[in-house]
């Protein structure tokens, strides 16, 4: 029994360490695109006085007005969250996958359902960090004068508390965003990877996995972005201070659709794909390679 417990602990530690490493590498490489994505999602059409004309204009405006550090606004909450977040993501995926192997679900369907479960679990962990991150990313002041992550968190807690109007607002949108993303992300990646023969050449094998991960992250981003837009609107600044316009996930989607049209639900899609296409591939590759290394050396 002791040997079995040690084996389970060793397996869990491998998954948690590999998942945390994957998240840290991805966030450090791709965070500037997350800032740009959030800025597009919180602007309310051409009538918005802070409207960006396009992707290039957004990059130039942030750089001129806020400096290079403006692209790293809100990075501390995701860094603090990435190790537990990605650890939860990959660890729970492996555990749900193991549990679902005892059901009547086909192996391919079990992978997608395990991904959905891991995404919902991950969302519960990460949502408070997302609230702080989005509120910092929406701030257009210079990086030097904006509040720190901890000061912003204190302000949110003191003003609105820990509940669905405070540090956990937008929770249903975050559940939708992460659940849908991970269901497609894991289901697509592992099903397609198993269907395409592996290469004996390490470089070709790396490219095979990277390409599948890239497509997986891109497709997942395209499907889940309406939840992401709703999350940004709920967690970001409301149009009229003191008046809550965006209240819940589907209410916000319907409101954005009525006022700004269908395409408004896909705001920020290009920077999101630019981030989570290659970022999704990076995460899966780092996870797999770190996990393999740990199994051989630890």
Which residues have a Cβ under 8 Å from the Cβ of 255 and sit 6 or more positions away? 245, 246
Q: Residue 185 class from Cβ within 10 Å (0-12 exposed, 13-18 middle, 19+ buried)?
A: buried
DSSP string for the chain: -HHHHHHHHHHHHHHHHHHHHHHHHHHHHHHHHHHHHHHHHH--STTSTT--SSHHHHHHHHHHHH-GGGGGTT-HHHHHHHHHHHHHHHHHHHHHHHHHTTSSS-HHHHHHHHHHHHHHHHHHHHHHHHHHHHHHHT--S-TTTSPPHHHHHHHHHHHH-SSTTTTTTTHHHHHHHHHHHHHHHHHHHHHHHHHSPPPSSHHHHHHHHHHHHHHHHHHHHHHHHHHHHHHHHHHS--SSTT-----SHHHHHHHHHHHH-GGGGGTTHHHHHHHHHHHHHHHHHHHHHHHHHHHHH-
Give the span between the Cα atoms of 255 and 261, in whole angstroms. 9
Pick the closest to residue 184 from 232, 127, 118, 131 (CA basis).
118
Give the span between the Cα atoms of 292 and 19, in whole angstroms. 12
Q: Residue 244 class from Cβ within 10 Å (0-12 exposed, 13-18 middle, 19+ buried)?
A: exposed
Listed by start position, the domains of the chain span 1-297
Q: What is the pLDDT of residue 78?
A: 76
Q: Identify whether the C-beta of residue 110 lies closer than 8 Å to the C-beta of residue 42.
A: no
Per-residue pLDDT of the chain (298 residues; tens, 9 = 90+): 456 555 777 777 888 888 888 888 888 888 888 888 888 888 877 777 778 888 899 899 999 988 888 888 888 877 776 667 778 888 899 999 999 999 999 999 999 999 999 999 999 988 998 999 888 888 877 767 788 888 999 999 999 998 888 999 999 999 999 999 999 999 999 999 989 999 999 999 999 999 999 999 999 999 999 999 999 999 988 888 888 999 999 999 999 999 999 999 999 999 889 888 998 899 899 999 998 898 888 7
pTM of the model: 0.81
**1-297 is a CATH 3.90.245.10 domain:** no
Tokens of 109: 């369907």
């Amino acid at each position: 029994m002791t040997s079995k417990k040690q084996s389970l602990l060793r397996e869990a530690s491998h998954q948690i360490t590999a998942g945390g490493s994957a998240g840290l590498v991805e966030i450090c490489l791709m965070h500037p695109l997350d800032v740009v994505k959030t800025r597009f999602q919180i602007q309310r059409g051409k009538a918005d006085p802070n409207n960006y004309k396009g992707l290039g204009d957004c990059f130039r405006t942030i750089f001129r007005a806020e400096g290079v550090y403006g692209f790293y606004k809100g990075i501390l909450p995701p860094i603090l969250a990435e190790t537990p977040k990605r650890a939860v993501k990959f660890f729970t995926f492996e555990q749900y996958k193991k549990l679902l192997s005892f059901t009547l679900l086909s192996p391919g369907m079990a992978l997608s359902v395990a991904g959905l479960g891991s995404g919902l679990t991950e969302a519960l962990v990460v949502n408070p960090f997302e609230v702080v991150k989005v509120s910092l990313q929406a701030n257009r002041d210079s990086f030097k004068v904006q509040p720190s992550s901890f000061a912003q968190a204190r302000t949110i807690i003191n003003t609105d508390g820990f509940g669905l109007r405070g540090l956990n607002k937008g929770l249903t949108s975050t559940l939708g965003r992460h659940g849908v993303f991970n269901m497609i992300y894991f289901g697509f990646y592992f099903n397609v990877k198993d269907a395409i023969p592996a290469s004996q050449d390490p470089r070709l094998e790396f490219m095979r996995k990277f390409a599948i991960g890239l497509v997986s992250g891109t497709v997942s981003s395209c499907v889940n972005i309406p939840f992401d837009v709703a999350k940004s609107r709920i967690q970001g600044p409301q149009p009229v201070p003191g008046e809550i316009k965006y209240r819940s996930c589907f209410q916000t989607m319907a409101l954005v659709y009525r006022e700004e049209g269908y395409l408004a639900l896909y705001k920020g899609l290009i920077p999101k794909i630019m981030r989570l296409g290659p970022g999704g591939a990076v995460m899966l590759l780092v996870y797999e390679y770190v996990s393999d290394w740990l199994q051989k050396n630890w």
